[in-house]
């Protein structure tokens, strides 16, 4: 029987009602008490790493998860990480860059309602996660509402319902039906995983709205090493009738060594800067990258990982366009 380590980090799944609302208070050991049937799936041991609302999860906590996985990797056949839903897609993406090529399953899961509630999705999600962690599905995945989602493609798309997560621009890795895992796609892996333990968190995100003040670009680029701009449609920057338009602000900052990534606010099908005049000239600007079909969560985590490895802009661009864990399917740029 497979040995699986349950790593608790808090979240709704471990929450209880308090005077100030739901707060994570249960330990991973207490979670297991609610699902005794797990003993028929695998041998489980538990470890309480954090006990946080996922709103409070930060990149330093991702690195703690990586160190925990690294320290215990040889002891177990698979891993389940319980996590709050609000930032779980960011954590799944981050772990996909920080733990690459794992032949063992590393599964994130959580719930929309606490495990102690009568109507809860916690027990199903957690049981399904253990089934996946006991399988031969390698790499980082997110298991929720009977779906197995690639770590770099998960996104929370519903705030209340049990079908909280979707796989963006990528098919499901598998599904679970009546307690049976039906795998569709098997991630690539290496004999041993590569662990990374450095991040550069000076990455910012700006979501454009009609009339956005370009001073926001200056503010964010002055204080960060990289900026992701969620633009409209297939991508582009506004051409307001100002002395200096958005493009000139971006051009000036990339000449100083900053990285700027253009992505789209549209959930599906990705960006394509070359379609319209407002985006075309960006494609010719060194230091301006395009996210194509990547999720925003993956773009954020990937930039933090890349900038933790190198300050060389050419190398950073190469790494950004090099697919990792299925994060990028169609960059229309030549690959060396």
What does the alpha-carbon distance between residue 113 and residue 185 come to, in Å, rounded to a whole number? 29
Among residues 309, 307, 108, 131, the alpha carbon closest in space to that of 225 is found at: 307
What does the alpha-carbon distance between residue 334 and residue 321 come to, in Å, rounded to a whole number? 9
12 is catalytic: yes
Strand, helix or coil for residue 161: coil
HSE-CB at 170 with a 13 A cutoff on CA atoms is 31
What does the alpha-carbon distance between residue 176 and residue 109 come to, in Å, rounded to a whole number? 14
Distances (CA, A) of 128 to 169, 190, 216, 240, 291: 23, 25, 44, 51, 32
DSSP one-letter code for 222: H
Phi-psi sector, 235: left (phi>0), alpha (psi -120 to 50), beta? left
Distances (CA, A) of 82 to 38, 48, 85, 134, 194: 15, 10, 9, 16, 22
User: CA geometry: angle at 251 spanning 246 and 256, to 5°?
Assistant: 130
Catalytic residue among 12, 91, 109, 264: 12
14 and 123 Cβ atoms separated by less than 8 Å? no
Residues involved in catalysis:
12
């Amino acid at each position: 029987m497979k040995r699986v380590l349950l790593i608790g980090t808090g979240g709704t799944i471990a929450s209880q009602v308090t005077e100030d609302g739901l707060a994570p208070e249960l330990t991973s050991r207490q979670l297991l008490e609610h699902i005794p049937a797990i003993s028929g799936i695998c041998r489980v041991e538990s470890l309480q790493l954090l006990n946080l609302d996922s709103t409070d999860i930060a990149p330093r906590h991702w690195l703690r998860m990586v160190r925990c996985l690294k320290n215990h990797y040889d002891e177990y056949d698979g891993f389940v990480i319980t996590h709050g839903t609000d930032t779980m897609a960011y954590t799944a993406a981050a772990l996909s860059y920080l733990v690459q090529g794992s032949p063992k399953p590393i599964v994130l899961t959580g719930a929309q309602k606490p495990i102690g509630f009568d109507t809860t999705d916690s027990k199903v999600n957690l049981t399904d996660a253990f089934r996946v962690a006991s399988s031969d599905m390698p790499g980082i995945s997110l298991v929720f509402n009977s779906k197995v989602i690639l770590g770099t493609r998960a996104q929370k798309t519903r705030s209340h319902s049990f079908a909280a997560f979707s796989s963006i621009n990528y098919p499901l890795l598998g599904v679970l039906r009546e307690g049976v895992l039906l795998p569709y796609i098997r991630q690539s892996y290496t004999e041993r995983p590569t662990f990374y333990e450095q991040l550069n968190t000076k990455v910012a995100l700006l979501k454009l709205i009609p009339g956005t003040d370009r001073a926001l670009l200056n503010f964010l680029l002055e204080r960060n090493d990289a900026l992701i701009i969620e633009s409209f449609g297939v991508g582009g920057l506004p051409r307001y009738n100002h002395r200096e338009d958005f493009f000139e602000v971006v051009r000036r900052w990339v000449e100083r060594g900053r990285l700027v990534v253009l992505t789209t606010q549209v959930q599906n099908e990705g960006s394509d800067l070359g379609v319209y005049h407002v985006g075309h000239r960006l494609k010719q600007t060194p230091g301006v990258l395009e996210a194509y079909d990547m999720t925003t969560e993956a773009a954020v985590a990937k930039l933090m990982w890349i900038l933790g490895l190198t300050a060389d802009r050419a190398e950073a661009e190469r790494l950004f366009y090099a697919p990792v864990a299925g994060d990028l399917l169609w960059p229309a740029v030549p690959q060396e």
